[in-house]
A = this chain, B = another copy of it.
Amino acid sequence: MSGKRLTHFDESGAAQMVDVSEKAATARLATAEAQIVMQPETLALITEGRAKKGDVIGVARLAGIMGAKRTADLIPLCHPLPVTKATVDLEPDADLPGLRITASVKTTGQTGVEMEALTAASTAALTVYDMCKAVDRGMRIEGLRVILKDGGKSGRYEVS
């Protein structure tokens, strides 16, 4: 990593929104994941609720999708991008116990959508926390990371 530098700063150290105007607008894809770990009783409330008591997962999914669209508002040096697809999946996992969250975002643009995927996963996880905090304050969000990125000059990145 010697010689590497952070492109979000210029030579003098000033933060900047990096110039992507010369980059080609290509198809971009990114997937992020996270887990939210909770008491088994909390997970039971969520999984039972899907039927009729209240759809925590449905609300969190929608929050995640909407969060993807707000990314450039939240992350200071992030370029605004027209999201062309966003999905958020939340799967109960009794071993955590908790929910496994996967968010995928696509665009046709001049820079990648990792931040959009991460923001979607993070917002979905925070929404689960919000809805369940009255019964389980100790929930934790773990393992928020990018697991797939494709499109653009730097090529495909995939966590094996």
Given contacts A8-B131, A129-B118, A131-B6, contact A65 B13 (CB under 8 A): no
In angstroms, how far is the closest chain B Cβ from the Cβ of A122? 5
Partner of A65, one of B17, B70, B143: B17
| Residues of chain B contacted by A110 (CB below 8 angstroms) | 84, 108
Within 8 A of B (CB), among A109-132: 109-110, 114-115, 118-119, 122-123, 125-127, 129-132
Oligomer: number of copies: 6
Residue among A39, A79, A132, A141 with the highest chain B CB neighbour number at 10 A? A141
Greatest chain B CB density within 10 A among A16, A27, A67 is at: A16
**Known contacts A9-B55, A34-B141, A81-B82; can you find 6 more A-B pairs with CB under 8 A?**
A1-B135, A6-B56, A15-B65, A79-B83, A80-B82, A142-B143
- By a beta-carbon cutoff of 8 Å, the part of chain A in contact with chain B is 1, 4-10, 12-21, 27, 34, 39, 41-42, 45, 49, 52-56, 58-59, 61-63, 65-70, 72-87, 89, 106-110, 114-115, 118-119, 122-123, 125-127, 129-135, 137-146, 149, 157, 159
